[in-house]
Amino acid sequence: MEEIKLDLQQMKQDLLRGITACSQRGLNHSAKWLAELHYCLSYVKSNNEENVHFKNDCEGELEAYFMAKSYFDLKEYDRCAYFTKNCTKPKTRFLYFYAKYLSIEKKKLDNMTDTNCPPDPTENTELTDLCTELKSDYYENKLDGFCLYLYGIILKKLDLTSLAITVFVKAVNSEPLLWCAWYELGKIISDKSKIFTVQLPDHWMKHFFLAHAYLEQLNNDEALQIYFELYAQGLKNSTYLMAQIAIGHHNRRELVQAIDLFKQILTMDPYRLDNLDTYSNLLYVQEMKTQLADLAHKVVLVDKYRVETCCVIGNYYSLRSDHPKAVLYFRRALKLNPQFLSAWTLMGHEYMEMKNTNAAIQSYRHAIEINSRDYRAWYGLGQTYEILKMYFYCLYYYKQAQQLKPNDSRMIIALGETYEKLEKTENALKCYYKACTVGDIEGQALIKLAKLYDKLKEFDNAAAAFTEYCLREDENRARFNEDQSEFYSAFQYLANYHLKKGQLDDAYTYAYKCMENEKTKEVGKALLKDIAARRAELDTDVDTEAVPMDETVGNILPPEIEDVGTNMEIMNTSNKY
């Protein structure tokens, strides 16, 4: 990886130009992103900052531009497009195209009666007509970087992904500071190898793009490496960088580090709502009810009509198991922004909890339309079809999720379970074995592997897997508290296995462990009696002066055995992540 060296003074001047160019064109989110980066460089002094001159790229159309821009800011998009229709200068031409595009999107949203059934963008004739108009200018080389970005957005909506990538690359080469073009490019490039097949400008923005693209592709280590380098280069006050690093930790399931970073961000910028939907997901997974309630109260005071706010409140109600209210707030988020990926995925989860599989499928499908790399939506679809017992469909969706998260044991186990239901036992065994090797997050792979070996009558392999499962007790004691039945069932199996093998000492050890749990206690007693009987038989065969049966049982089963659950330290066997 190439070494990063930033000229902070030049970077600050570039940012100032980018802020002005984006805000003049109504690209408020990009302008905000650049401004936040610019703000974190407030300690950098630039001698030429006051002498930066901006080219007047709407000369001769200034009056039309100012009037149209005022209509645009007031969301009167049709009026804006009407008064700029015949304009030819780059800035006013972009305003014309952008106003037409936003008008189409606004009408589509206004006409949407059910957020679960959005119209197919590829069947939108107005969008197709606008694409044709932009295409004509594109082939005549009339589009500047900003118009190229808009053309790329429309191509992406029409599922013309390959051409969209080409257009976005041209946009960032023409306008290297156009973050929204970099952002969209990072979302639609499917894998790491394709990044280096496109001709990107040699500009400092490329580092931000690479880190963003790696994070989208779940190449978290590479992304974090770049972000840490940028952080060390003088951008330590950038809340954007801190949030991206937190998301990287979240993706790597380093939840404590991610939560700590979000806490720091809110200390530095208490009114920042960006990425707080991710923060609320972290609090939800960790079941931090009080902190999630505090966050929900705080975001409502800042802005109750932001999509992030609606998602935070939705997660809060979900944690309280009030799923209808959670759906209500996720719907509100989607009314504010139908393209907000997180809300679609989370709403799908809620419908799953409510057993509304049809609505869940629609929610997950729309999440995938927005971002085909959302492994949670693919996994959710797999779970939905599993409930419907449509296992071949289920297998397809789990495979998609596993390809996006190849080292996540949850995806691999889900695949294994589906193969098992389809009676493809060899494939199931491979999945469970791989889940063990990549790091079994939920502690389920070994037990499933053991049970499958037992089902196949490969008893030695089953016993080995059960033994390994039990040996992990000390490393994961907290895991077994929630559901101890699997854990003690493993002891029961091993006791029977070693008893059949005549390995009485091992059988005794595992049978005695069974006495610690109420469900296996009676079985444990019976096993210990069988072991005592077997030992007595062996002693009779070997030694004529064998210990009487009653005495042997007495030695193995002392009077206090009935209270073993209270007299012995019970293993901590929680399976809560």
CA angle 354, 359, 361 (to 5 degrees): 110
Residue 363, in any domain of the structure: no
Considering its fold, how many domains does the chain have in total? 1
Residue 325, in any domain of the structure: no
Q: Tell me the residue range of the domain where 480 lies.
A: 473-577
pLDDT at 506: 81
Residue 479, in any domain of the structure: yes
Residue 573, in any domain of the structure: yes
Q: What share of the chain is helix, strand, coil (3-state, %, to 5)?
A: 70, 0, 30
| Residue-wise pLDDT tens digits, 244-273 | 999 999 998 899 999 999 999 999 999 999
Residue 495, in any domain of the structure: yes
pLDDT at 295: 96
Residues 6 or more apart whose CB falls under 8 angstroms from that of 116 comprise 359, 362, 363, 366
Residue 154, in any domain of the structure: no
DSSP-derived secondary structure for 261-324: HHHHHHHH-TT--TTHHHHHHHHHHTT-HHHHHHHHHHHHHH-TTSHHHHHHHHHHHHHTT-HH
d(CA 193, CA 205) in angstroms, rounded, equals: 19
Number of helices (H) and strands (E) in the chain: give both, helices first: 31, 0
d(CA 441, CA 29) in angstroms, rounded, equals: 37
pLDDT at 356: 94
pLDDT at 575: 35
Segments in the chain below pLDDT 70: 1, 46-58, 112-123, 473-484, 541-577
Contact 365, 383 (CB under 8 A): no
Residue 565, in any domain of the structure: yes
pLDDT at 103: 94
| Residue-wise pLDDT tens digits, 481-539 | 455 677 778 888 888 888 888 888 888 888 887 887 777 778 878 888 888 887 787 77
Residue 389, in any domain of the structure: no
pLDDT at 178: 95
Nearest residue to 476 (alpha-carbon basis) of 573, 410, 577: 573
Contact 18, 177 (CB under 8 A): yes
Predicted structure pTM score: 0.79
Contact 284, 292 (CB under 8 A): yes
